[in-house]
Amino acid sequence: LSEEGTVWIVALLTGADLVGSNSEARRLIQQGGVRIDGEQIDDTTLN
């Protein structure tokens, strides 16, 4: 968690044990496999 209260989407996925590595999280995002509140996430730099 940053000072602004944000977290990098890749770190969120790995920290929640939804994926095994940062690389796997990036791939999943790039392939359109991540949604938050129904909105597809496609930016691996999202905080």
* Strand partners for 40: 35
Q: How high is the pLDDT of residue 22?
A: 97
Residue 44 forms part of a structural domain: no
Is residue 23 a part of any domain in this protein? yes
Partners of residue 36 on adjacent β-strands? 39
Question: Residue 47 falls within a domain, yes or no?
Answer: no
Tell me phi and psi for residue 28, to 5 degrees.
-60, -45
The verdict on residue 4 lying in a domain is no
Q: Distance (Å, rounded) from C-alpha 26 to C-alpha 40?
A: 14
Please tell me the total count of domains within the chain.
1
- Tell me: pLDDT of 2 over 90: no
pLDDT given for residue 1 in this prediction = 61
Q: Looking at the domain assignment, is residue 27 inside a domain?
A: yes
What pLDDT digit, counting tens, does each position of 31-47 carry?
A: 999 999 999 999 999 98
Residue 46 domain-assigned (yes or no): no
Question: pLDDT tens-digit profile of 9-30?
Answer: 999 999 999 999 999 999 999 9
In a domain, 28, yes or no: yes
- The alpha-helical segments, DSSP class H, found in 1-47 are 9-15, 22-30
In a domain? residue 30 = yes
Structural domain of residue 22, as residue ranges?
9-37
